[in-house]
Chain A
Amino acid sequence: DGGITQSPKYLFRKEGQNVTLSCEQNLNHDAMYWYRQDPGQGLRLIYYSQIVNDFQKGDIAEGYSVSREKKESFPLTVTSAQKNPTAFYLCASLRTVNTGELFFGEGSRLTVL
């Protein structure tokens, strides 16, 4: 089945540690996205990538980093510089830029202890 796979689903991290969230897609979509969601909040855009080897900052990129070395993969690193990293992280891919039809993974919940 085609889709977006995020791992791990749950992750605990100590303060000061970097952590990398995985996102893989087999939909053959060029563009991929990372969003952050906090309780009672909508989705806030962290980074997006239109194509391999290219990515742009979203609205809340500080403390995060990404890479896009393969079309299928768009990992997100939450660095120790991110002041409040506990959140629900969602990865998505874009079917066509005209319509904005996004396909989402099931999310990764990061808790910093």
Chain B
Amino acid sequence: QKEVEQDPGPLSVPEGAIVSLNCTYSNSAFQYFMWYRQYSRKGPELLMYTYSSGNKEDGRFTAQVDKSSKYISLFIRDSQPSDSATYLCLNSGGSNYKLTFGKGTLLTVNP
């Protein structure tokens, strides 16, 4: 079983919509839940992360972890065309160096 599973989409929404991106994870021992954003033909960059459970908010972005269902989510409020990118999730922690990503979700926000 893969560490994280992610619906690859693609997902297309109108500007201003609320976007929900989701992953499931398998290893409960890993306490960090990372979201990376990748623009076309670029390397990914860390967008935000949460530790353990609960929510973390950063501007229009909210990362949420539900440990009971092993579900992690990224919400984007008031989505903008500049949010159009591939979003990748990663579950990590402890001394685990083998870092494997979900398939990524390609998001397009249409003006």
Q: If A100-B90, A100-B92, A100-B93 touch, does A42 touch B103 (CB 8 Å cutoff)?
A: yes
Residue of A nearest to B8 (CB): A40
Q: Among B32, B41, B103, which residue has its beta carbon within 8 angstroms of that of A100?
A: B32
Chain B proximity of A58: nearest CB distance (Å): 7
Most buried by A among B45, B93, B95, B97: B97
Q: Which of B6-27 contact A (CB under 8 A)?
A: 6, 8
| Residues of chain B lying within 8 A (CB to CB) of residue A99 | 32, 34, 49, 92-93
- Evaluate whether A107 and B42 lie within 8 angstroms (CB atoms) in the complex, with A98-B93, A99-B32 already known: yes
Chain B, residues 83-111, CB within 8 Å of chain A (1/0): the string is 00000101111111111111110100000
Interface size for chain A: under 10, 10 to 19, 20 to 34, or 35 or more residues? 20 to 34
With a CB–CB cut-off of 8 A, which chain B residues contact A48? 97-99
Is B43 a contact of A100 with CB atoms below 8 Å?
A: no
B6 touches A102 (CB 8 A): no
Q: What secondary structure prevails in chain A residues at the interface with B? A: strand
Measured CA separation A104–B14 after assembly (Å): 30
Cβ contact of A107, chosen from B43, B49, B93, B102, cutoff 8 A: B43
Judging by beta carbons under 8 Å apart, are B100 and A45 in contact?
yes
Asked if residues A101 and B97 are in contact (CB atoms below 8 Å), the reply is: no
A106 close to B92 (CB less than 8 A): no
Which residues on A are within 8 Å of B, measured CB to CB?
A: 4, 31, 33, 35, 40-45, 48, 50, 56, 58-59, 88, 90, 92, 94, 97-102, 104-107, 109
29 pairs, A vs B, C-beta closer than 8 Å? A31-B97, A35-B101, A40-B106, A41-B103, A41-B104, A42-B101, A42-B102, A42-B103, A43-B101, A44-B100, A48-B97, A48-B99, A50-B97, A59-B100, A88-B41, A94-B97, A94-B99, A97-B96, A98-B32, A99-B32, A99-B49, A99-B92, A100-B32, A100-B90, A100-B96, A104-B43, A105-B43, A107-B41, A109-B41
